[in-house]
Amino acid sequence: MKTISIEMPDAVLSALKETPEECSREIRMAAAAKLFELGKLSSGRAAELAGVPRVSFLQALARYGVSLFDETEEELRQDLRHA
In-domain check, residue 58:
yes
Tens-place pLDDT, residues 25-78: 999 999 999 999 998 999 999 999 999 999 999 999 999 999 887 656 676 677
In-domain check, residue 72:
yes
The one-letter amino acid code at 37 reads E
In-domain check, residue 22:
yes
How many domains in the chain?
A: 1
Half-sphere exposure of 20 (CA within 13 A, CB side): 6
The dihedral through the CA atoms of 72, 39, 46, 17 has a sign that is negative
Predicted structure pTM score: 0.78
CB 46 within 8 A of CB 32: yes
In-domain check, residue 5:
no
The domain of 40 spans 10-81
Q: What are the start-end ranges of the H helices in 1-83?
A: 10-16, 20-37, 43-50, 54-60, 73-81
In-domain check, residue 3:
no
In-domain check, residue 65:
yes
In-domain check, residue 32:
yes
